[in-house]
Amino acid sequence: MGLSVGIVGLPNVGKSTLFNAITQSAKAQAANYPFCTIEPNVGVVAVPDERLYQIAKMEKSKKVTPTFIEFVDIAGLVRNASKGEGLGNQFLAHIREVDAIAMVLRCFENPDIVHVEGSVDPIRDAQIIDLELIAKDLETVSKRIEKVEKPAKLGDKKAKEELEKLLRLKEILENLEPIRKHTELPEDLLEYTKKTLFLLTTKPVLYVANVDEEGLSGNAYVKQVIDYAQKEKAPALVICAKLEAELVELPEEEKLQMLNAYGLDEPGLNKLVRESYALLDLITFFTAGEKETRAWTIKKGTKAPQAGGKIHSDFERGFIAAEVINYEDYIKVGSMSKAKELGLVRLEGKDYQVKDGDIIYFRFNV
């Protein structure tokens, strides 16, 4: 789908270590000094989904294809990045290109790892990042106001309407609040912020508390991050980037042993990928058969013809109907043929909104 999550944070908080682990690669150089990452690294990651493999097993599929999400490791922001400090404008431009932000916050003490602010304080770090994004958005909005103000005063109706939108946004930003917090804004105004102005603070945020091994069971910093995320009505998760980087190097059996040793039921990276997927308001549907079982990514609320179009444009153009069974019903009977025998496969039309976990066979004619 081309949707991407930017891994963002101050220098030396563990972003590149996390990116290396999540992409099971060494693309991102990890080192103990600021601006180690300059150009953004991009990795495409399979979305972990046990349902896919369960369906493939039951259908005896020869091929299994997961769905994917893109992660971008963006260089560390610093205070006054919006004014060009560090490599500020370059980094802010990279953030503009992603669809959502995973904000990595350092939640561990280690005198050997330099913190650019001189101390560990995850909430201060989050606020520094937000203030830089707000400052850049305010600059964008102010420049746009300069362009439309004159025609608006001369009576141009469209310019006047746009100016009203811009002044509302400026008021929010001058109060040092990100646009994403203002869910009460009209839909057309939110669309304008995203598709015309490309504002940074409209992007949804996931807070990632990066801890050391001892912090996996929680610490004072983690509590601060979780409380902060709750106030922001944003998701948060705890992850040990160092441990995750070690886990990806291990054979499956040793990986399970290490997870058990830390009281974990799965790698934190699986949770990060799933949370990022949810953050982008995405769901998964499946196509299944002996030849291949495959997961497909769509936006929540997508209708059946458009979902079919993700597979092939002919499916959307010549859509007739969709044969649908949800995974929960499918798993109870154990096969598509059995589900059809029992009348559990529904025939849905063009107005059907695909649900997460639907297994679909598309009928089409072109």
Annotated binding-site members? 12-17
- Which residue ranges form the domains of the chain, and what is each CATH number? 4-279 (3.40.50.300), 301-364 (3.10.20.30)
Query: Which amino acid does the sequence have at 182?
Result: H
- Token pair belonging to 156: 């141009």
Annotated binding-site members for ATP? 12-17
Reduced to 3 states (helix: H, G, I; strand: E, B; else coil), residue 23 is coil
pLDDT of residue 88: 44
| pLDDT tens for each residue of the chain, 366 residues long | 468 899 998 888 888 888 888 877 434 333 333 333 334 578 888 888 999 999 999 999 999 999 988 888 886 666 665 555 444 455 577 788 899 999 999 999 988 887 777 889 999 999 999 998 998 899 999 999 999 999 999 999 999 999 999 999 999 999 999 999 998 999 999 999 999 999 999 999 999 999 999 999 889 999 999 999 999 999 999 999 999 989 888 888 898 999 999 989 888 888 888 898 888 999 999 999 999 999 999 999 999 999 999 999 999 999 999 999 999 999 999 888 889 999 999 999 999 999 999 999 999 997
Closest CA to 14 of 228, 224, 245: 245
Rounded to 10°, the helix 122-153/88-96 angle is: 80
Q: What whole-number distance in Å separates Cα of residue 19 and Cα of residue 34? A: 16
End-to-end CA distance of the chain: 24
Q: What whole-number distance in Å separates Cα of residue 264 and Cα of residue 277? A: 21
Q: What whole-number distance in Å separates Cα of residue 97 and Cα of residue 222? A: 29
Q: What whole-number distance in Å separates Cα of residue 284 and Cα of residue 275? A: 13
